Structure 1
Amino acid sequence: MTRIYLVAGEASGDVLGARLIEALRRQRDDLEFIGIGGARMAEQGLASLFPMQDLAVMGLAEILPRVMKLRQRLAQAVADVSARKPDILITIDSPGFTLRLLRAVAPLGIRRVHYVAPQVWAWRQGRVKHFPGLWDRLLCLLPFEPAFFQPFGLNPVFVGHPVLQSGADRGDALRFRTVFGLDGGARPLILMPGSRRTETARLMPVFRETVALLTARHPALVPVLAAAPAIASELGAMAAGWPIRPIIVTDPETRYDAFAAAAAALTKSGTSTLELALAGVPMAVTYRVNPLSALFARRLIKVPHVAMINLLARHALVPELLQQECNPELLARTIATLLDNPVAAAEQRAGFAAALATLQAPAGALPADAAARAIIETLSA
């Protein structure tokens, strides 16, 4: 058997890993899968070395108290890779952990593939000089990434974006309305404040006031809060005092049903913009960080837009309301335009299709299959 060691460090990587295992099995029947993953990879038969949740920490405030634990888990992973001698090591996203692992096992001579390119093209581009020697192949999700990484000898290959396999475009609007007792006149507004507590703490009060302004003019509006399961109860408590208490959805199926029923969305920047675009939901993007952090970021960011859908479209397809513009009055006016002006909403939807087409894997393959093919090629090299 050919032994494949996979490492995922957070929920999105766990989903990618599970799809990758399925795709690899479709191409080869002599593969054994070991490593570190979560529930989705466990469904594919992978017994995790330790709970993936031990690695799923974000932000300085969360990481500092767990530095020693993370170091122990890194040492444990290195020892396991050394002992089990896989034919290939595949690390999935989570660069804070996975890139350290790749560097630590480099002397072993094991083939290494990193899945999801670090987004150094967006800011702090100088970090790319630390990557040569970390992997044999870099699997990129975005079509413009290979051109950035190729000059550094990092062997990039574009494999398509997994959002195309997410199911975000296959939600059931009628099911959502039935489950939550919404009549045909109700107009759901999707609110996506992020999954990190530092994000939600800044955005939730702004969303509350935005909803209050909007519902005064649009009484049929129904706020729907898409929440990461880990912080759903906290967001529910924060929303308890809202003028209209939002529906809270946590699992992907219900979230995608909400997308299918939605009139518009207000979301933080990130992959959520791609999910909403795939579902055809007109949106505005917003974000707010500490003013000092924003000043620092402006000097380092090298891209013209923060919303991924705008980067793909190469223009401001959806409004980006950041920092001082992340205020209830402006957000409410922007969303109201999408609710009241069918032309504005239709223009966004038309742009979504062209932007998302750039995410298709070569030769029309599913992204997971394209990634699996690149890994098989690396094994055979």
Structure 2
Amino acid sequence: MRLFVIAGEISGDRLGGALMSGLNLLAPGIAYDGIGGAEMQAQGLSSRFAMEELSVMGIAEILPKYRHLKRRIAETAAAVAETAPDALITIDSPDFCLRVAALARAQGYRGPVIHYVAPSVWAWRPGRAAKMAKMVDHVLALLPFEPPYMEEAGMSCDFVGHPVVSEARASTSEGAAFRQRHSIDADAPVVLCLPGSRRSEVSRLAPRFDEALIRVRDRIPELRVVIPTVPGVARMVRDMTRRWPTAPIVVEDAGEKRAAFAASDLSLAASGTVSLELAANGVPMVIAYDMAPLSRWLIGMLLKTDTVTLVNLVSETRAVPEFLGANCRPGPIAAALQDLLEDPAQRAAQADAMAQTMIRLGQGGAPPGLRAAQSVLDVLQRRG
């Protein structure tokens, strides 16, 4: 069996690595071709070029590389058409992956196209599913409510579980050790501050998060703030927090980040999949987000749900308070943090919602990578 697998960024490489690990367990001897990073390469992929060439986001970043990316799309599609694999598996990165699939189809590829990570059509732009169905046969979904949307558009779809349920989590003792390392009193409240992983997010959200946390610290002087971040924005985060009366603890190491989650009492986070990471670690949260005025207006016009927080959506509750767009203001955010810290009933409601979310995302079942692998093999079996 020969599979052509494409991932365009680190998160996709993780999904691809877990998928390929599952495939190697269930169907040893698969020959892999395509594009991926270290985790996919560790499972047997020889990447045609460095995955990092595709890891660009935003118009400002893409425009200077447009011709190069267009050439890589053409090269990759030609390779798929020429090698005629048993399946083409594309992982997230739709701007690259789905263009490759469409072009490969146009050049004669007739095997199944399987896309890993469904587009968020339940939230906005439902037409994307219909467009995707023109070149995709089957979807591997991360969220349990996504298959009906994909099937309605004409694709088969399996919910395979979210990778967050398989990620390592720190123990209570590791959380206590984190507090000791950073001289945090055992009874001092600790809040995680997560203003995003992109420079545009951090520059827009960090000042508001800063002001909200200052207001909470005015009432609770012993409050300590921990900011888990990534290398690309770590210096920016440190520069922006130099004026804080009590310096936050900024951590980049993956193990130290896990320990920080275990050491924390609550969190203030940008909207996104980080809410699932917080839920997996049982950290109560307040979610906030904003964007440029034009983007805010467009998203507001297209948004189909009354919440964007995944914990709220998956648990079918509204236990997590969120402050989006014009509501992303320090005063209301600070008040919500204060309420969450002081109200046991709110924390209990969130704990129930977070536990329900993890169960519905696949916690306690087969690992998502293995479920995804079985879904791929089922598609190939149906296709003969």
Normalised by the shorter chain, which TM-score bucket?
Answer: over 0.9
Kindly indicate whether the alpha-carbon contact (under 8 Å) linking 2:141 and 2:159 is maintained by their aligned counterparts in 1. Answer: yes
Give the alignment partner of residue 212 of structure 1, picking from 178, 191, 214.
214
Q: Which residue of 2 aligns with 1:350?
A: 352
Q: Which residue of 2 aligns with 1:62?
A: 61
Q: Please list the CA deviations of residues 318-342 of structure 1 after superposition, one character each: whole Å capped at 9, or x if unmatched.
A: 0011123211121111111122223
The offset of 1:252, in angstroms, is 3.4
Q: Which residue of 1 aligns with 2:295?
A: 293
Q: Please list the CA deviations of residues 187-209 of structure 1 after superposition, one character each: whole Å capped at 9, or x if unmatched.
A: 22111111222211110111121
The offset of 1:150, in angstroms, is 1.0
Tell me which amino acid in the other structure corresponds to 1:188. V
Give the alignment partner of residue 306 of structure 2, picking from 294, 304, 307.
304
Identify which range, 162-171 or 308-317, moves more after superposition: 162-171
Tell me which amino acid in the other structure corresponds to 2:80. V
Q: Which residue of 1 aligns with 2:159?
A: 158
Cα distance in 2, alignment partners of residues 369 and 109 from structure 1 = 26
Q: Please list the CA deviations of residues 234-287 of structure 1 after superposition, one character each: whole Å capped at 9, or x if unmatched.
A: 222222222222222234332221111101001111111111011110000000
Q: What residue ranges of structure 1 are gaps of 5+ in the alignment? A: none
Cα distance in 1, alignment partners of residues 151 and 287 from structure 2 = 31
Q: What SS class does the counterpart of residue 139 from structure 1 fall into?
A: strand
Q: Describe the shift of the 1:66–1:244 C-alpha distance in structure 2 as closer, same or farther (beyond 3 A).
A: farther
The offset of 1:168, in angstroms, is 4.1
Q: Describe the shift of the 1:232–1:83 C-alpha distance in structure 2 as closer, same or farther (beyond 3 A).
A: farther
Q: Describe the shift of the 1:214–1:64 C-alpha distance in structure 2 as closer, same or farther (beyond 3 A).
A: same
The alignment of Structure 1 onto Structure 2 pairs a total of residues equal to 379
Q: Please list the CA deviations of residues 59-88 of structure 1 after superposition, one character each: whole Å capped at 9, or x if unmatched.
A: 222222221121122122223323433222
Q: Which residue of 2 aligns with 1:81?
A: 80
Q: Please list the CA deviations of residues 279-329 of structure 1 after superposition, one character each: whole Å capped at 9, or x if unmatched.
A: 110000000112332222111111221111111122311001112321112
Q: Describe the shift of the 1:355–1:169 C-alpha distance in structure 2 as closer, same or farther (beyond 3 A).
A: farther
Cα distance in 1, alignment partners of residues 270 and 7 from structure 2 = 24
| 1:124-203 matches, cutoff 5 A | 124-168=125-169, 172-203=174-205
Normalized against structure 2, the TM-score is what? 0.93
Kindly indicate whether the alpha-carbon contact (under 8 Å) linking 2:195 and 2:269 is maintained by their aligned counterparts in 1. Answer: yes
Kindly indicate whether the alpha-carbon contact (under 8 Å) linking 2:8 and 2:51 is maintained by their aligned counterparts in 1. Answer: yes
Q: Which residue of 2 aligns with 1:51?
A: 50
Q: What SS class does the counterpart of residue 307 from structure 2 fall into?
A: coil
Cα distance in 2, alignment partners of residues 32 and 226 from structure 1 = 38
Q: What SS class does the counterpart of residue 242 from structure 1 fall into?
A: coil
The offset of 1:170, in angstroms, is 5.3
Q: What SS class does the counterpart of residue 200 from structure 2 fall into?
A: helix
Q: What residue ranges of structure 2 are gaps of 5+ in the alignment? A: none
Q: What SS class does the counterpart of residue 133 from structure 2 fall into?
A: coil
Cα distance in 2, alignment partners of residues 193 and 218 from structure 1 = 21
Q: Please list the CA deviations of residues 152-181 of structure 1 after superposition, one character each: whole Å capped at 9, or x if unmatched.
A: 211111111111112247573123224333
Tell me which amino acid in the other structure corresponds to 2:153. F
Q: Please list the CA deviations of residues 9-63 of structure 1 after superposition, one character each: whole Å capped at 9, or x if unmatched.
A: 1111111111111111111111122321122223334332222121111222222
Kindly indicate whether the alpha-carbon contact (under 8 Å) linking 1:190 and 1:259 is maintained by their aligned counterparts in 2. Answer: yes
Tell me which amino acid in the other structure corresponds to 1:366. P
**Residue 315 in 1 paired to residue 317 in 2?**
yes
Kindly indicate whether the alpha-carbon contact (under 8 Å) linking 2:129 and 2:149 is maintained by their aligned counterparts in 1. Answer: no
Give the alignment partner of residue 275 of structure 2, picking from 273, 276, 285.
273
Kindly indicate whether the alpha-carbon contact (under 8 Å) linking 1:170 and 1:279 is maintained by their aligned counterparts in 2. Answer: no
